[in-house]
Structure formats: C-alpha cells, structure tokens
Structure 1
Amino acid sequence: MSTPRSTADAAGTRVWQQIISIRRWVDKEEGIDDSLEALTSRVMEIGEYYGETCEALLATNTGDGHDLAKALCDVILAAGVALCSADREAREAFVDSLAWDKHTGREPIGRLVIKLGQEHVAACQAVVGVSTCTPRKDADYTMDDLVAKLCAVVRAAADALHRVDSAAEETFTATLELAYNRSIGVVRLV
C-alpha cells in the first residue's frame, strides 16, 4: 500500500526526471556541453525570467495575475535546469525547495519578488565564485554553495507562486508538463 511519503517521493522523482529531460533537450538545442560555462549561462538565464516576473508584477495592477504565475513557474524551471546542471543528484534538494505544503506566509508579493531577486544575485555570485579563483586564493564558493543558492532561488519563486496562486502546485505541474512534452517532441495542437 502506498503511503503519503512514498507518493510524495514518487512525484518528486517524476518532477526531477522531467527536469533532467528538459536539461538534456536544452543542451541539444543550444549545442552546449556540460561545462562550467554552460552552467554559468544557465544561472544567468534565470535573470531573464526574473525580469519577466518583475514585468508581470507591474502588470498585475491591471491584469489577473496569470502572467505573474507563469513567470514564476518559468523561474522555477530555469533554476531547476541550472540546479540539475550543477548536480544531477540534487533531486531531494530541489523537491524540498518546492515543498508546496510549507508555503503559508502572507508576505506582500512585491517583497517576495524582491527576495527572489536577492536569491538570484546570490546564485550569480556563487557561480562566479565557483568558476574563478586567483593563484593565491582558492575559489570563493564551492559547488555545494551554488547548489544551496539555486535551491534558495527555487524556494523564493515557489513562495511567491504560492502567494499569487492558490493552486500553485497544479500550476507549476502544468507548466512543467508543457516544457517536458516540448523537450520530448510532443506538440500540443490546442
């Protein structure tokens, strides 16, 4: 008989496998390898989706917030792909960062989006610190530091998504499914 914990583990494994598939597809589409340069590019790419999040936040005064939820899902996906690039064994850390049942805060959405930006900056600092060092000094950050910073980005985006969408988990799952299907060549005809 399946317990809630084993069901959650299976769902987490499925989400992570989809992230891995998306990462492989992105590798192939961009013609890149598993290099530190590719990882740096992926971490920096999160900023593009963060910018879209900020634009959607500004537009929520006139809209319904759907664009904001989508932008936050895109941040989570981009951070997940970067995290997978940094450590293919980071499934548990990624799933724990999502932890939909732990999002209970009532912080204003603007503050949560600012927090997301701060976490992204910290991840950028970590990827630069991992990739650069001087002969007299070791690297400023370890890969474990980078993984932790990327998990913090996922956590911050998931917190913000939960704040704007009462069905945050379902919204993210639908976005993940679309990206995953695209990565395996399934075209939606609707």
Structure 2
Amino acid sequence: MSDSHRRDTRARSTSAPTDLWETVDALWTWLDADQPADGGRGREALLLRVLKLSEEVGEVAQAVIGATGQNPRKGASHTWEDVESELCDVVITALVALRTLTPEAREVFGRHLARVAERSLGTTAP
C-alpha cells in the first residue's frame, strides 16, 4: 500500500464502518467502483486481487529485513511497527480477495476458522 493511499485511507477512517466485515465490504465496493464496465467482477479482477497478496507479503519481508537491519546497503530502514502495518495489509488484502471471490466471505471465513481451531486447539472458535 502506497504512502499516499495510507494517508487517504486514514483521512477517511473517521467515517469508515466499525465492523470488520462491513469494512471489508466497503473496501470491496470502493475497489469495484474503480473497475471497467463489468464492475470488476470478472476473472481478471479476482486474479489480480489474489496476486496482490504476493505483493503485500513481499512488503512484509522487506519490512522484516529492514527492521532487523539485514540489508547492508540500507541498514535498519524499518521498525517492528512497520512490520505490524504490513501484516495488517496482508490480512486486509486477503479478506477483500475472499470477498471478491464470494459474497459469503464472512461465513466462509468463519467456517474455516472454526475448522482450524477445532483441528489445532481441539475447540471451536469463539
């Protein structure tokens, strides 16, 4: 996510929905409004939103490398707060991609989370 996009998003955050899934729907609607005549619901739009995850994960890796100072040319170029922010971008991008794939994203995610919790914790998710 670019710095200007982050600033624009922060400026609008005061009027953004407070529920996670309402916000995901609002972001999905906002992205689809900027799409071609098919409303961005075509296969290409879905594929590009899924591919956007790779870009966001790359930004997490870049932030971790910067936070640990592992790039000798750049040194410590990021903070752990930058890593947190980039991880959040990954989650948001994934949820919007899931919403692009199905209008039932909330239910699909909830069922999957419950299965993972059952498998991993031996319990259902709260």
Which position in structure 1 is the counterpart of 2:4?
none
Identity %: 32
Distance, in Å, in 2 between the alignment partners of 1:146 and 1:101 is 25
Q: Which has the higher contact order (CA 8 A, sep 6+)?
A: 1
The SS at the match of 1:99 is: helix
- Is 1:167 aligned with 2:91? no
Which position in structure 2 is the counterpart of 1:184?
121
Number of aligned residue pairs: 93
Q: Which runs of 5+ in 1 are unaligned?
A: 1-94
Which position in structure 2 is the counterpart of 1:111?
48
Q: Which runs of 5+ in 2 are unaligned?
A: 1-18, 33-39
Normalised by the length of structure 1, the TM-score is 0.42
Give, as a single letter, the amino acid of the residue that structure 2 aligns with 1:119. Answer: E
Question: Cα 1:97–1:141, aligned 2, differ >3 Å: closer, same or farther?
Answer: farther
Which position in structure 1 is the counterpart of 2:23?
99
Distance, in Å, in 2 between the alignment partners of 1:98 and 1:125 is 30
CA RMSD of aligned residues (A): 2.9
Normalised by the length of structure 2, the TM-score is 0.61
- 1:41-190 aligned at under 5 Å gives the runs 99-102=23-26, 103-104=28-29, 105-106=31-32, 107=40, 108-133=45-70, 139-186=76-123
Distance, in Å, in 1 between the alignment partners of 2:119 and 2:98 is 23
